[in-house]
Structures are given as structure tokens and as C-alpha cells.
Chain A
Amino acid sequence: MKDIVLIIDDDPVYQLVVKSKIGKIEPGLEILCCEYGRLGLNKLETILNGYNSIIVLLDINMPVMNGWEFLTECETARLHDRQNLRIFIVSSSTDKSDVNDAGKSSLVSDYFSKPLSNTDLLRILKNGAMQ
């Protein structure tokens, strides 16, 4: 089975930049993009059983369903039992309270501030890949 990266973010330029960077680090890795939480949730449900490893890069500040609401929905769906799922928050916020809130959710593996550097992406991809 394959690995996949799911980018949930309403900024198309950010999506392009991250897609390009990941393409350099791990050519051929499958990448999906969604503009907000609700779409991301629907996508996630369809791919949940089809991949060895799913890495979600989640933005906080989005229309329709923001990052926190997305996480709440995931918890309701008991997705933290899923061994193949890793969620990383990638937000433009450097606000301490956001970092703290992220730390409280058992679903969140780590928190990154935008822009994602190559080092950040390497850590995410390494962390997210299943042992």
C-alpha cells in the first residue's frame, strides 16, 4: 500500500509551494489538496482504508470548517484509533495559545508555523511514515 499527503488549506499558493517542495523531497508521493475542513473530512473518509500512511497538513484559520472544528469531528469519528493517520498543524499563527491548544489534542502529532522549510517537511515525512 502507498503513502499519501492530504493538504487542508485555503491558500492555493501555499498548496502549490508545498506540493512542489514535497515533489523534490519524495518524487511520486501522492498529494491531495482541499480548501477547508469539511472537504478534508470527506476526502479523509474515502482514503482512510486505502493507504499505508496518511499525513494530514492542517491549517487552522479556514472558512466553512476551521482546523479546530476539523479536529473535533475527527475525535467524534474516533480517528485517533487509526494507526495509519498522522495530523500536523501548519498555521501562519505564531500565537502561543494556538501552539498550546494543539498540544492538548491527542490527534495532533506536531505544530509548525508557516512557511514550511525543507527541514520541517523532512521531519513531517519521516515522522508520518509508518515504521
Chain B
Amino acid sequence: MSISPEVIKTKILILEDNPGDMLLIEEYLLEKFEKLTISHFSDLQSAMGAMDSGSDYSVCLLDLFLPDIGGFELVQKVKEACANTPIIILTGYADFSLARKCISYGISDILLKDELNSELLHKSILYAIDRFRFIKSLENAKQLYHSLFNFTPQPMWIYDDTTFKILNVNNAAIEKYGYTMDEFLSMTIYDIRPPDQIYQLEKRLSISKELRNEPFAGVFTHRLKNGERIQVEIFSSEISYEGQLSRIVLSNDVTQKLKYINTIEEQNNKLRRIAWTQSHVVRTPLSRLIGIVDLLEENPDEMANLQFWLQKVKDSAVELDQLIRTIVIESEALNIQNNEKL
């Protein structure tokens, strides 16, 4: 941030009741700013209207004591009215405790009238504008992250990594888990687990910090306020939240997905059963047929029992036929189920 010659128009709001001071301030300003508009008011009452109507002032110069109101009360009123404008206080008295109070309240600068000159005022105004812009952009970024947190359709929360207390939750978490924000804030991450799953959480919390840096924590069972159990994929990451070492968590309900996978697994098992039947059961009469033919080829003596072996060949062929029919029926049943489920 450097003090550069102002090329854009500077719009200054001045609240000052002393005509002599006002004259001096105006002079200092005209000396340094090329394009300048000044709106001047002598008391708060008359200034209120100007401040309300879409205040696009670059800066507000405020005398600490006006005829109708003064001191910190005045500062509060002006700050409220011009939330989007940096405020510089001009005062005749060096009251440090009040000065500190004002600065912590978000006032950009406090200048003593006795020490005022064009250089000092110019510098203070430019700094105030730049700094205010920077603070605003930080606030906007904070707002943006807050929105991202709140408007993502997946439940998220932040918890204290020492006490495991829940520090913040988003709207999706409130909707999914059924607890209100206040309820969440009085809970720990233990409270969203069914009692029989606490050991899973403790197992997870006991692993080393390095491993916990992996965003994907695994699939866990959580419990909603209404007692329903859900399967969730958990992603988490370390975060510094309002100065506390915390973790931000994203929870993705995969209950339905797991159900689908189970359905697919069941179908796979049926297919495996068919494959097994083919390997074991179908090959039984088939290998018997090959065995009989082999025997007749290799042992001519057995030709004496041809009638017997032919009957066995016929029996095996019928058995094979039956098995194949059964497999066809099973496969058809599998197809029908497929169409119903998908």
C-alpha cells in the first residue's frame, strides 16, 4: 500500500461544528486531493440523512464533539450509520483511553487537531481507505467460506480436537442428523455414534497425527437424533478455528450406496453359484460320459458289456440335459431380478 496521487474522485464526509477547524481541514484537503467532493454537516441529526442514503463516501472525518451528541456515543452512532466507510476521528483532546476504545471499535485513525497538517491528514486518509478495503475483502472471504460451509449439501462440522466438542455445524448437518444448532453445540462427536460404535471412533482418534492427515478417514456408523443408523464416509482435515486446534469433518451418507453394493454382491454370489454348479455338477455326467467312451476304446473286453455301458451313457446324457435346463432357469430368474432392481 503506497501513497499514490489520487486519480479517482475522493468523496469526503465531514462532521465538524467548529467553522475555523472546518476551514482549515478543507484547506488541507484541497491542497492534496485533486478530485474532491466534500459533504459537510455541523451536527449528527442533519448528517444522518446523508449517511443513510447509500453512503458511498471514501472516508468520514468526525469531530468527537458535536452540539447534539459527543464522545463514544457519537462514534457508535456514526459507525452504525456508515458501516461501509472508514472513519477518522479529529479531536482537540488527547484522551488515550477513549482513543483505544475507538480503535478497537473499528475506527481507522484518531488525529489531534493541534498536530494536524495537510501531509498528515492526506496520509491518514489514504491509509484508512486502503486498510478498510483490505479488511472488507477479508470479511468477504470469511463470508464466502461461511457460505460454502453452510450451503454445501453434505453435512459438515467442526470439532475441538482436544475436548471433541462440536464447535460449528452447517445447515446440511442440522437437516441430516436432526439436531438443532444449539443441541449440536452442547454435544461432542461421541454423541452422534451409537454406543456399540464408540470403539471405532476411539480407534480412529488413537492413531497417529500423520495418518490422520489423510483426508479420508473411512466408513463409520453414525446415529441420527431419531435413533436411525446411517453409514457415512468421513473426510476430515485439521483446521484452526477461532484459535483452537480443531478438525473440519465432511460426512457423506453412503447407506443407500452400500445397499446397492450388497444387492450387486448378492447377484454376484448367484452367478458364482451358477459357475460352481457348472464346474462341479455339470462336469459330473460329462466326465462320466468321456470316461465310459475312453474305457470302451482302451479295453475291448468291455465290449461284452456294451448294453450296460450304453444304458449308462443314456442315463448320463439325460442327467446332463436336466442340469443344463436348471441352469437356464436360474439364469432367467437372475435377469428378471436385475430388471426389477435397476
Contacts and interface: CB of A to CB of B under 8 A. Distances in A.
Interface of A: 11, 13-14, 17-18, 20-21, 24, 60-61, 91-95, 98, 113-118
Contacts of A21: 294-295, 298-299
B302 A93 contact: no
Contacts, number: 64
23 contacts: A11-B284, A13-B291, A13-B292, A14-B287, A17-B288, A17-B294, A18-B291, A20-B302, A21-B298, A21-B299, A24-B299, A92-B280, A92-B283, A92-B286, A93-B279, A95-B276, A113-B283, A114-B283, A114-B287, A114-B288, A115-B291, A115-B294, A118-B298
B28 to A, nearest CB: 93
B288 A14 contact: yes
B227 to A, nearest CB: 42
A24 B298 contact: yes
A95 B280 contact: yes
Given A13-B312, A94-B279, A115 B299 contact: no
A94 B280 CA distance: 8
A6 B14 CA distance: 113
A13 B316 contact: yes
B287 A113 contact: yes
A102 B325 CA distance: 31
A20 B316 CA distance: 19
A61 B280 contact: yes
Given A13-B312, A20-B295, A115-B288, 17 more contacts: A11-B284, A13-B288, A14-B287, A17-B294, A20-B302, A21-B295, A92-B279, A92-B284, A93-B283, A94-B279, A113-B283, A114-B283, A114-B288, A115-B290, A115-B294, A117-B294, A118-B294
B75 to A, nearest CB: 82
Interface residues of B, number: 21
Tell me the dominant secondary structure on chain B's binding face. Answer: helix
Given A13-B292, A113-B287, A91 B280 contact: yes
B309 to A, nearest CB: 9
Nearest to B292: A17
B288 A11 contact: yes
Interface in B266-316: 275-276, 279-281, 283-284, 286-288, 290-292, 294-295, 298-299, 302, 312, 315-316
B283 A17 contact: no
Nearest 9 interchain pairs by C-beta: A115-B291, A114-B287, A92-B283, A95-B279, A17-B291, A92-B284, A115-B287, A115-B290, A93-B280
A61 B298 CA distance: 27
Contacts of B299: 20-21, 24
Nearest to B316: A13
A17 B305 CA distance: 12
Contacts of B315: 13
B316 A94 contact: no
Nearest to A18: B291
Nearest to A94: B279
Contacts of B295: 17, 20-21
B194 to A, nearest CB: 37
Contacts of B280: 60-61, 91-93, 95
B279 A116 contact: no
A21 B275 CA distance: 31
Contacts of B281: 61, 92
Contacts of A61: 280-281, 284
Contacts of B290: 115
A117 B294 CA distance: 8
B131 to A, nearest CB: 73
A75 to B, nearest CB: 23
Nearest to B299: A24
A61 B281 CA distance: 9
B295 to A, nearest CB: 5
A109 to B, nearest CB: 20
B287 A92 contact: yes
A83 to B, nearest CB: 31
B119 to A, nearest CB: 89
B310 to A, nearest CB: 12
Contacts of A18: 291
Nearest to B276: A95
A94 B298 CA distance: 24
